[in-house]
Structure 1
Amino acid sequence: MTEAYFQEGFHLTPRFGAAREMLSRVPGSAESAVIDKARQVFARTSLKAIALLDGDHVLWSAYKEPSHPATRFSGYSLGKTVTAMTVGHAICDGKLKPTTEVPELVPELRGTGYDKVTVAHLLTMSSGIRDGSYHAAGTPQVQEKIRQIHAGQGQWRDLLPLVNQRRVGFFGKALEPGESFEYKEMDAFVLGLMVEAAAGQPLSTYMEERVLPAIGIEGPVALRQDKSRTTYAPTVARMTLPDWTRFAAWVKKQEGQPGCIGDFVRAATRTQIANKSNVGFSLHHGYGHFVWTDNPRHRDSYWAWGFGGQRIAWNRSNARMLVVFSSLENNAEEVFDLYREWAALP
């Protein structure tokens, strides 16, 4: 039986059995040199937890008080990447197709801007829906609804009637699905609703029973949901640093595996659409499936990132990864430089 604590808007999973084993080993001399630099970066910046990985080996990790190994860190939009991998499982389980359209599973959006928007469009943030959601400069009505939800006086689904209109381009023509990238919360939220309907159970339950154990998460994991058990997919998970490293290692391993999940991860971590927007362009010129790609400082890398400086970094040349959590969005350049050196090691 799982424990739920709705006063903070989260569902707490149980501890899972057979967690992915994360190993340790003595760093080599070149690795030690980069770790020494990482210690310096960690000490002088707002980073509050960090891990340097080589495959399933954690070469170095650190925390700043009051954080510790049992602290569950909010990944903020790292949750979108967790949601993407959940969608991959739903596709491979035969519950969804990339071509499944939103109204087939979320009927209250039939006749809105989400008509003809597919799973593939949502995964690439190319629904064409006007952004007025969580972090954007939404209407006062949207912002008030969000305040009510946070206060436990509403449900996430209450946002659907308020943010479902197609964005209009420069010449007054509505953007078509798939036409352009625009980062937003609602595409991820609607995709979570589609998985929920396709699985016939709350998204948090599907994650708890099917996805998190398959990834090898130890838990407990806090999954964000409201009193109706509707899960907020964009910022879904709070996990310990060891569990975030398990997630990172699983993604990297699946990138090289045959089969449906491997195919999905390979597609997710490669550029599916160009990022020409004003969100993240200086850091990433491309976007996969809730994964940032085409980093001009490290073209071979792909990233998950969340508000406030949360980052997971991978690259295709080797299995060296970086996981960081922060309290401020003021250390991106130092994190990019650190990962470039870590990823360059043989």
Structure 2
Amino acid sequence: MLALAAATGSADGQAARDPLLDPFFAPEQGDTRAVLVLNDGRVAAKRYAPGYSDANRFISWSMAKTVTAMLVGELVADGRLALDAPASVAEWRQPNDPRGAITLRHLLTMSSGLRHTEVGRPIENSDTNQVLFVGGTGDMAARAIAQPLEARPGAKYEYSSLTSIILSEIVARALTGSRDPRERAKAYRRFAEERLFRPAGIRSVVLEFDGAGTQVGGSIVHMSLPDWGRFGMLLLDGRSLAGAPVVAPDWLAFMKTPAATNPGYGGQTWLNRARPGAAVMFPDAPATVASAEGHLGQHVTVSPDSGTGRGVVVVRLGNTPDAEVKVGQRLIGRTLAEHFPRSR
């Protein structure tokens, strides 16, 4: 297995600059901190901005949603959760509560119908900001679960980090009946390590939890650049860098299947297809591209129909204003098209 720490020319990616990555560090890309490109599981290019190296862990922001979906899939594979059964949220099981119709599929595809506001006007009215940074940190899932419906489950797409926190809570409840925050976090962390991270060779991951022991599965996971590359291989074909199966093929196929309410979104994963009111994310790239996307320009983008063998993974980490993120997406699409045409 090729060690992902081995960059072109040096262990930290600072020397022997590959011109392939020059555009990623151009001023119009904002504050790019790290980029890794894998072709068929091998390092094609890797670079850090000054001050960053393999020793750093980088925050996921919303890329965490795709991690959470993979953990949900492990419980579905075990028969402890069911995709099209009512979600196992006891608070919604009261008589005449219409939220009882919400399924796991609805939550995974952001079509629960719950009244969640991802980006408020003004910004402090965002449910996400209120829960993550103001008054909801003690029990984020409770705030998310308590919201009423604003649409029939399955009828409307609405992106929501609180929905992903509900998914993390469902995972925790499936793993333990304890309400002790430390026990809940311990059970979640152990399951994630045993079923996802360790089989994938991911060693640097840090999961963050709220005061109730619920993993902040919509927003906060930390990994090194090489480990985000390993995660990309899971998203690419469900296998570790060495080729060991980790994510079941049928679950990965579900994650990459367009949702009924948004063809550009799958199961907590973005797809390279036109969305209502928006073009494809990665112009020029194959339609089979899928991506974990995060606030401020975090990307783990995979293309099974680019490059050679298993395909290509592009990881870009940094701090780019969200209004400018499309510039980076266009660059990823152009990079796949121009530098990694499919070799049959």
TM class by shorter chain equals 0.7 to 0.9
Cα deviation code 1:18-67 (max 9, x no counterpart) = x995486989xxxxxx9524223324332211011112211111111222
Q: 1:37 to 1:215 in 2, by over 3 A?
A: closer
Query: In the alignment, does 2:319 pair up with 1:327?
Result: yes
Moved more, 237-246 or 194-203: 194-203
Per the TM alignment, residue 345 of structure 1 is displaced from its structure 2 partner at its CA by 4.7
User: Alignment partner of 1:129: what SS?
Assistant: coil
Which residue of structure 2 aligns with residue 265 of structure 1? 252
CA contact (8 A) 2:64 2:221 kept: yes
Q: 1:146 to 1:306 in 2, by over 3 A?
A: closer
Q: Which amino acid aligns with 1:292?
A: W
Which residue of structure 1 aligns with residue 295 of structure 2? 307
Which residue of structure 1 aligns with residue 112 of structure 2? 127
- Residue ranges of structure 1 left out of the alignment (5+ in a row): 1-18, 28-33, 168-174, 276-284
CA contact (8 A) 2:141 2:165 kept: no
Which residue of structure 2 aligns with residue 88 of structure 1? 73
Q: 1:84 & 1:99 partners in 2: Cα distance? A: 15
Give the structure-2-normalised TM-score. 0.76
Cα deviation code 1:272-310 (max 9, x no counterpart) = 3343xxxxxxxxx51111111134323231111111011
Q: 1:139 to 1:40 in 2, by over 3 A?
A: closer
Q: 1:141 & 1:185 partners in 2: Cα distance? A: 10
Q: Which amino acid aligns with 1:306?
A: G
In the alignment of these two chains, the number of paired residues is 299
Per the TM alignment, residue 327 of structure 1 is displaced from its structure 2 partner at its CA by 0.4
Q: 1:250 to 1:118 in 2, by over 3 A?
A: same
CA contact (8 A) 1:109 1:160 kept: no
Which residue of structure 1 aligns with residue 14 of structure 2? none
Q: 1:146 to 1:304 in 2, by over 3 A?
A: closer
Cα deviation code 1:70-102 (max 9, x no counterpart) = 111111111000111111111112221102322
- Residue ranges of structure 2 left out of the alignment (5+ in a row): 10-16, 177-183, 274-279
Q: 1:158 to 1:120 in 2, by over 3 A?
A: closer
- Percentage of matched positions with identical amino acids: 24
Q: Which amino acid aligns with 2:267?
A: H
Q: 1:158 to 1:194 in 2, by over 3 A?
A: closer
Higher relative CO (CA 8 A, sep ≥ 6), structure 1 or 2? 1
Which residue of structure 2 aligns with residue 74 of structure 1? 59
Which residue of structure 2 aligns with residue 281 of structure 1? none
Q: 1:207 to 1:113 in 2, by over 3 A?
A: farther
Q: 1:261 & 1:20 partners in 2: Cα distance? A: 23
Q: 1:113 to 1:68 in 2, by over 3 A?
A: farther
> 1:245-256 alignment to 2 at 5 Å?
245-254=229-238
User: Alignment partner of 1:94: what SS?
Assistant: coil
Cα deviation code 1:139-191 (max 9, x no counterpart) = 859565544457x6x321341365x2212xxxxxxx32112221111221111
Q: 1:23 & 1:69 partners in 2: Cα distance? A: 7
